[in-house]
Structure 1
Amino acid sequence: MGRGKCPATYEDIEALPPGWVGEIIDDELWVSPRPAKWSLWAMSALLTRLGSLFNFGQGGPGGWWLVREPEWHFDRQVLVPDLAGWRYERAPGLFERNDAFFDLAPDWVCEVLSPSTAALDRGRKLALYHREGVSHAWLLDPQSHTLEVYCRGTRGWRLARYGGEEVVRAEPFDAEPLDLGRLWAPRSTPAPGP
């Protein structure tokens, strides 16, 4: 932050034009465009898969609150991970208050990388997630077809990398297999017949 510059406030976020996502990190306003189509596909496919198994327990263990683009407030920070999850046992009353934001650190976050957000997601946000007690962070890159799984350690993150068409068991959702090939935007398909 430059000399004489005022810290960003929530009013700065509210003043953004429609279609832009604002975050406040270390008193600075960070603005990102809405995700590209391939990012939206990856985010939607991942939430659909994990949501059915872990949100609702349909054929899986359940036990999680999973949401898309939650606004998370702590100290003076405002972060908006692409996806986040809280374990039921740690956050039983997560939805009791009708707030527009969350003030409890998630147990899991996922950032879907794009050229405009990758540096921030890999740098400042990943460091803040660790500092604030997030147990697991995923970085999903739909362009390079990779998933990086970060597990919280005492001195930093432990990292596992997966890619391509692998079927993986990625923490904290390792109770069920995840087919990475289903997360990447499909190639062109012929239109259905008449």
Structure 2
Amino acid sequence: MGDPARKVPTFEELLAEIDRLPEYLSGEILEPGEIRTMSRPKAPHRRAVGLCYRALGDADKASGGTGWWIELEPAVRFGDRLFNPDLAGWRVERCPEPPDEYPITLLPDWCCEVLSPSTARDDRHIKLPHDARSGVGWVWMIDPALRLVEVFETDRGRPVLVATAKEDGAQRLPPFDLEIHLAPFWILPKPAEPSSP
């Protein structure tokens, strides 16, 4: 006799498992029925997220700006999946009050992922196309190792690269009407020690 068919856990069962994870881990449901856990990010990732969040302060209504609600690491439900984008934004015209449910079911208008070696593949190959298919209008991919920001716009359910910004540049990156200075995003390497005579 064969083994009984494996029961696929429900979204609610997986969410309960995620909620029981120790504080040093976070969890997402990238594929239906499966949890992906990861440890908290390292300094280059944290710095890029924090500085991007601050750079968008003039757009974030909660910080005194206008037009957007910007959230750090919100848990967003995409049907039977749960993503925790590093940053996400909802236009105030579509969402008059900040999203206040757990997990958030109103899909963001913008998501931002800061890439790290352990997450870059999933961020690019699972989350980016799924965001676009689901109707998220804009996605940023920030790569601290390359000092690069890529801006994707959703076109007919597909992510299309529409802008890039590198190194120390300052420019307006859609969908925000703000000049963003990138130099602070990157942790500079330590200067080389002078050689002894």
Output the TM-score relative to the length of structure 1: 0.85
1:128 corresponding residue in structure 2: 130
Asked if structure 1 preserves the Cα contact closer than 8 Å seen for 2:62 and 2:69, the reply is: no
- Check conservation: 2:55, 2:181, Cα contact below 8 A: no
Contact 2:133 2:158 in 1 (8 A): no
Please state whether the residue corresponding to 1:18 is helix, strand or coil. Answer: coil
SS state at 2:59 partner: helix
Note if 1:163 corresponds to 2:166. Answer: yes
SS of 1:162 mapped into structure 2: strand
Structure 2 CA distance for aligned equivalents of residues 127 and 50 of structure 1: 24
**Distance in structure 2 (CA, Å) of the matches to 1:12 and 1:56:** 33
Take 2:129 and 2:159, find their aligned partners in 1: how far apart are those partners? 9
Write the letter of the residue equivalent to 1:79. Answer: F
Q: Give 1:188 deviation, angstroms.
A: 5.1
- What is residue 148 of structure 1 aligned with on the other side? 150
Does residue 75 of the first structure (1) align with residue 79 of the second (2)? yes
Deviations 1:133-181 (A, max 9, x none): 10000000111101010011125222122211111211101x2211111
> Equivalent of 2:35, from 26, 29, 41?
29
* 1:187 CA displacement: 4.9
Structure 2 residues without counterparts, runs of 5 or longer: 192-197
Contact 1:57 1:63 in 2 (8 A): no
1:64 counterpart = 2:68: yes
Contact 2:134 2:157 in 1 (8 A): no
Higher CA-based Rg = 2
Q: Distance in 2 between matches of 1:14 and 1:176?
A: 36
Equivalent runs, 1:38-53 vs 2, <5 Å: 38-51=44-57, 53=58
Deviations 1:100-154 (A, max 9, x none): 3211000000001000100000011111101111000000011110101001112
* Equivalences for residues 104-115 of structure 1 within 5 A: 104-115=106-117
Q: Quick one: distance in 2 between partners of 1:100 and 1:25?
A: 17
CA contact (8 A) 2:25 2:39 kept: yes
Aligned residue in 2 for 1:94: 98
Deviates more, 1:86-95 or 1:3-12: 3-12
TM-score, structure 2 as length reference: 0.84
What residue number does 2:21 align with?
16
